[in-house]
Amino acid sequence: MPLLAALLATDDLEAALTAPEGSFSRHDLLGWAASIAGDLTGVPIAAVHAAPGAPTVAAVAGALLAGVPIVPVPPDAGRLEREHVLKDSGAALLLTDDPAAAGETGLPTLPITRTDRSTTIPGEPPGHAPALVLYTSGTTGAPKGVVISRAAIAADLDALAGAWEWTPADTLVHGLPLYHVHGLVLGALGPLRLGGRLIHTGKPHPDAYAQSAGTMYFGVPTVWSRIAAQPEAARRLAPARLLVSGSAPLPAPVFYDLRELTGQAPVERYGMTETLITISARSDGERRPGQVGLPLTGITTRIVDESGAPLPYDGVTIGNLQVQGPTLFDGYLRGGAVQSWGEGWYATGDVATIGPDGWHRIVGRASTDLIKTGGYRVGAGEVEDALLLHPAVHEAAVLGLPDPDLGERITAFVVADPIEEMELIAFVAERLAAHKRPRAVRLVEALPRNAMGKVQKSRLRDA
């Protein structure tokens, strides 16, 4: 089955992609992508200036048709980041409608928007061939190129189709960036493989979501929080059958607000660039706040201690999450070659609990969200959720800072209405075990976040 099976399967003249640039039928989108594919003949690897909208979808589809690995470059990347990605990936050219996007790299550019359409469709490349090189956020150094095969993408989308009952009858709405797994792999390639219509709103504004009739909506917690804060916009999503949240933990209060306003609880899922999506709640099953569900078909998970010994599935014990399955990446791109990550169990770097029924709760990153304080292991997310229950608190991020007595001191950074530190500490102590209360609360105007809405705790720690 071709990777972009739905795009290739029909000459449908109905709108298959709607974006700020207009609406495009599947027939037109295929001809557009095929024209780009023809211009990529013989190119070893290409990059795309991944601005939100139809051109990026067409460019990525064209590269995949041609069997050319494609490197999405964030449109808001700074000069140093952009130059690093273009140089490190070895991209031979940059697909863009803005020639200035290549900066001072000297890289040749190829326009995406064009009137040309082609009926020549290249043969399907082998499944093991690399499809995407997605660069990580670079929180532990320079961004690294994650090489993802065509087979991994196909396996992930097919597994999600089963978990979410995703069919050609669906209309997917989102406004997420097109250079991450969530917005690009799930949000753009999903409809091109599984069928249905995609409405990309350009930006994930609540009004844009409310004005777009869909059966499925994708968002990150920041998006859902803003939608929940606009009840009229949220109620407009009630006819949809699936609201999906990912890329960061969804605060429990937002979960409950969405359930009340739309009549359904959001589906949460878990994944990362190196593994794609591996765990999710099901469209026809239970949805629990603060938990991400069960492994997808073909995925196996486990939690282990620091020595690698398996830990019990009791819903309480926190361990290092490991996964294995067909959605894992091939390796990191280094010096023009793929350096394999290994084989067997992949260590995600996240910590989690697994319940007796197999449900997973992601505590967070082992480096920032597992706090070892006074001999206890505390998950930052649990403390954050407790803080968010206070009516004065709008946002919260918790981490452990060095402490000579406790090892790590639970410290909360909070965006809130005027309130006393001790009031919030007492509020958490009434709801959680005493050792889980923050020892310090710092009121801040905003929390630093990346493009996907994830709080950048390393910046809080450095500050």
CATH number where 333 lies: 3.40.50.12780
List the chain pLDDT tens, one digit each, 463 residues: 999 999 998 777 788 999 999 999 999 999 999 999 999 999 999 999 999 999 999 999 999 999 999 999 999 887 878 888 999 999 999 999 998 887 777 899 999 999 999 999 999 999 999 999 999 865 556 788 999 999 999 999 999 999 999 999 999 999 999 999 999 999 999 999 999 999 999 999 999 999 999 999 999 988 998 999 999 999 999 999 999 999 888 888 899 999 999 999 999 999 999 999 999 999 999 999 999 999 999 999 999 998 999 999 999 999 999 999 999 999 999 877 899 998 899 999 999 999 999 999 998 888 778 888 877 778 888 888 889 999 999 989 998 898 887 888 999 999 999 999 999 999 998 888 788 899 999 999 989 887 667 788 888 887 7
236 in the same domain as 118: yes
CA angle (356 as vertex; 354, 358 as ends), nearest 5: 55
Residues 309, 413, single domain; the answer is no
Structure tokens at 47: 């990059």
Which of 365, 393, 425 finishes a domain? 365
pLDDT at position 459, please? 85
Same domain? 181 vs 149: yes
Same domain (yes/no): 350, 299: yes
Residue 376 and residue 240 share a domain: no
**CB of 267 closer than 8 Å to CB of 243:** yes
> Which pTM value belongs to this model?
0.86
pLDDT on residue 451? 67
Indicate whether 166 and 215 sit together in one domain. yes
Residues 280 and 414 in one domain: no
Please give the residue range of the domain that contains residue 206.
1-365
Residue 62 sits in the same domain as residue 100: yes
Residues 347 and 381 in one domain: no
| Residue 306: Cβ within 10 Å count | 8
What are the structure tokens assigned to 180, written together? 């991450």
Q: Which of 365, 392, 416 is the last residue of a domain?
A: 365
Tell me the C-alpha distance between 247 and 257, whole Å.
19
